[in-house]
Amino acid sequence: MSRDTVDGGLTLTGTIKWFDPVKGFGFIVSDEIDMDILLHANVLRNFGQSSIADGVEIKVIAHRSDRGIQASEVLSVASPRSFNTFGYGEMDALDDVALSEIELQPGRIKWFDKAKGFGFANVFGKSADIFVHIDVLRRCGLSGLVAGEGVALRVVEGERGLMAVAILSWEAAKVE
């Protein structure tokens, strides 16, 4: 087990085994320990995210309890490795560098329906709707969004209007 400690907890890196925002928890697997690490939705929310996709790399501070090991703080979530992995025709001409140079804008989720696979956001101070597709979420390490959630967006003008090409939590945007 990792010897690095923060406030008495262990600093561990692993990947999301599964996370269900409806149930309010999920699990992390790590090569550093031989048991799953419980990740509660409140701990993830404290980091600034309401969801996280399976397989995403995460670094946490964890503590032992009678029920096993639980994450008490999220330190980081891996950034997307590649922007240009979705099937929007407008994006085919843009490479990863061009997309990463698009300014991050502060926004809020207007609504998102995971079953439909899309939703809309607004940039602060602007009324225009920005289309958000579930493939963009998955590529950015998210599994869903909730109305009112604060995010950072990279936005482009597509054939049908404004659309998000990247969505980051507030915490991830701070690091970037």
pLDDT in the model for residue 127: 92
Give CA–CA dist 164/133, Å, rounded.
8
What pLDDT is attached to residue 158? 83
* Whole-number pLDDT of residue 53: 85
Query: Domain spanning 89-175: which CATH class is it, in words?
Result: mainly beta
Q: How far apart are CA 15 and CA 141, in angstroms?
A: 11
The tens place of each residue's pLDDT in the chain, 176 residues long, gives 444 554 578 999 999 999 988 889 999 999 999 999 999 999 998 988 888 888 889 999 999 988 899 999 999 888 655 444 444 555 555 566 677 788 999 999 999 998 888 999 999 999 999 999 988 888 888 888 889 988 999 999 888 899 999 888 776 666 55
Specify the CATH superfamily of domain 5-77. Nucleic acid-binding proteins (2.40.50.140)
Please state whether the predicted TM-score (pTM) of the whole model is above 0.75.
Answer: no
Cβ contacts of 92 within 8 Å, gap of 6 or more? 84
Domain boundaries defined on the chain: 5-77, 89-175
**pLDDT on residue 80:** 53
